[in-house]
Amino acid sequence: MKKKALVFLDFDMLIRHFILSGAFNELEEKYDVKYVFHTDDSSKKLGINFDLEKLGLKSWCRFQVSRYRMGMWDHLFCPTVLHNLRGTDYYVDRLELFKSMRPASLVRKHAFLSLPIIFGVFAFLYKRYMGVHKDLLSFVEEEKADIVIHPSILTGYFINELGPICKRLKIPYVCLMNSWDNPSQKSSATGPADRLVVWGEQTKRHAMEYMRVPEGRVLVFGAAQFQIYRKPVVENDCELRQLFGVPAGLPILLYGGTSKSVEETRHLKIIDDAITRGDIPRCHVVYRPHPWRSGLMENEPDFFECGFENVTMDPHMEAYYRRISKEPDDSFDMAPYEPTRKLLELVSGVVSPLSTILLEAVLCKKPVQVLMTSENVDEEIRRVYEATARQRHFSEFSGPGVGRCTTTTKLVDACCQVLEDSKDDNVKKSLGALGEYFVCQDGATYGERLLSLADELTSGKRA
């Protein structure tokens, strides 16, 4: 009989990053894997909106955890994050980021509750008040799982429930980080998993220092969604240009969109006009909208009404942009990573507001410019940008080939710098080392490492 693994997912992005990437393929060959997806009949705001039937999974189900209960855990989550950060170099900046996103009075309360001694008493009493999720406990027990695996943004519906349940049932519990900022920004309110899987040396250090996870519990696997960047692109330059509909003979710049509220077409207009004037060397720009961007901002022009001369859209994202710009909703586009991998092979470099596409470019040894302009963004995002500049995961994103553009008046110079950096082999070498620091790309694949870990943690259980 095969050993059984329960895999819990509570947001669309986790489906894209872990299931569609094939991260569990090796595990499925050896284990009986059952996927458990979050649902909630009590709220219109759902973490998962994707049609799960399309995944073609052998075994899966939905499990309900209320949004209300997740919100209740937030009262412990914030003090936990701040408590873990006390005494580190990041406490003050993280506190400021909380203030930019939450009422000041609530942040002051959470800061007080994070104090030594006070936090210990509060956390103990609050966890007793919340108790174990009885229905989820019964479900895991009835499934007779040998191991529980949770891809996670380190907050959400399941993360504060699974730890106490697995501890009570003596089931190994593995948490897989999803996003670059997770270990420095977040934390499980009910304690760390038996193993926390991170991307690279930076996030390992952050998990140990900022989440207080013991070193023996933190494992570096790389990123599930970035495994495709380990593989070479088979198409040649001519074929790639045909695929993305761009002219031959010109350097290609990628403008990567962000999920935040930024008037991106105004940036593109500045770049387009500068190319026409000759202020930027002759090149062509591909605009790739973010797969979970919102609709157009109040004064943001529609891309297809701008009449650009030197800018076209990534054809793989056109249908999504046309729909979301006219009828905004909470959907999450499951854009595959393969076109992005090919696009990054083609381009000379990337300019983008804050987005993971910048890190993906560095993994491909392509120079980048981070657009952190205060113009053409809404007030909330302006505050987030100011705080984000001090976030620890991002503060180390620097060096040759990595620039920051803080005003639109410098946007033209930023594009020129990317084109210049793309010709420098020393810059490419530096970018390669930087990428490896953030995301491990060597050795066994993510899926192979996950299978080995499952075997190790379930050793001695049923064969």
**Looking at residue 352, what is its pLDDT?**
93
Residue 425 predicted with pLDDT over 80: yes
Per-residue pLDDT band at 453 (split at 50, 70, 90): very high
Task: Give the H/E segment covering residue 168.
Answer: helix 159-169
Within this chain, do residues 367 and 287 fall inside the same structural domain, yes or no?
yes
Percentage of the chain exceeding pLDDT 70:
94
Cβ atoms of 382 and 374 closer than 8 Å: yes
DSSP string of 94-123, one letter each residue: HHHHHHHHS-HHHHHHHHHHTSTTHHHHHH
Within this chain, do residues 308 and 278 fall inside the same structural domain, yes or no?
yes
Task: Give the H/E segment covering residue 172.
Answer: none
**Looking at residue 166, what is its pLDDT?**
98
Residue 385 predicted with pLDDT over 80: no
**Looking at residue 291, what is its pLDDT?**
84
Give me the CATH number covering residue 22: 3.40.50.2000
**Looking at residue 379, what is its pLDDT?**
65
Within this chain, do residues 121 and 190 fall inside the same structural domain, yes or no?
yes
**Looking at residue 245, what is its pLDDT?**
97
Residue 194 predicted with pLDDT over 90: yes
Strand, coil or helix: 71: helix
The 10s digit of each residue's pLDDT in 8-58 is 999 999 999 999 999 999 999 999 999 999 999 999 888 999 999 999 999
Within this chain, do residues 399 and 253 fall inside the same structural domain, yes or no?
yes
Domain that holds residue 207: 4-68+113-223+443-457
User: Nearest Cα to 314, choosing from 338, 331, 295, 330?
Assistant: 338
Mean pLDDT score, 89-112: 91
Contacts of 379 (CB under 8 A, 6+ apart): none
Residue 322 predicted with pLDDT over 80: yes
**Looking at residue 381, what is its pLDDT?**
64
Residue 66 predicted with pLDDT over 90: yes
Q: Distance (Å, rounded) from C-alpha 218 to C-alpha 209? A: 11
Mean pLDDT score, 347-367: 95
Within this chain, do residues 283 and 349 fall inside the same structural domain, yes or no?
yes
Q: Give domain status of residue 91, yes or no.
A: no
What the block records as the tokens of 73 is 């855990």
Report residue 216 CA to chain centroid gap: 24
**Looking at residue 300, what is its pLDDT?**
83
Q: Distance (Å, rounded) from C-alpha 344 to C-alpha 355? A: 14
Q: Distance (Å, rounded) from C-alpha 407 to C-alpha 370? A: 11
Residue 130 predicted with pLDDT over 90: yes
Q: Distance (Å, rounded) from C-alpha 181 to C-alpha 179? A: 6
Burial of 54 (0-12, 13-18, 19+ CB in 10 A): exposed
Residue 462 predicted with pLDDT over 60: no
**Looking at residue 413, what is its pLDDT?**
97
Per-residue pLDDT band at 271 (split at 50, 70, 90): very high
**Looking at residue 103, what is its pLDDT?**
92
Mean pLDDT score, 449-453: 98
Percentage of the chain exceeding pLDDT 90:
81
Within this chain, do residues 433 and 300 fall inside the same structural domain, yes or no?
yes
Within this chain, do residues 54 and 124 fall inside the same structural domain, yes or no?
yes
Domain count, the chain: 2
Q: Give domain status of residue 74, yes or no.
A: no
Q: Give domain status of residue 82, yes or no.
A: no
Other C-beta atoms lying within 10 Å of the C-beta of residue 112: 13
Per-residue pLDDT band at 270 (split at 50, 70, 90): very high
DSSP string of 231-243, one letter each residue: SPP-S-HHHHHHH
Cβ atoms of 427 and 349 closer than 8 Å: no
Higher pLDDT, 429 or 259: 429
Within this chain, do residues 185 and 280 fall inside the same structural domain, yes or no?
no
Mean pLDDT score, 223-231: 96
Average predicted confidence (pLDDT) for the chain: 93
Q: Give domain status of residue 228, yes or no.
A: no
DSSP state of 15: I
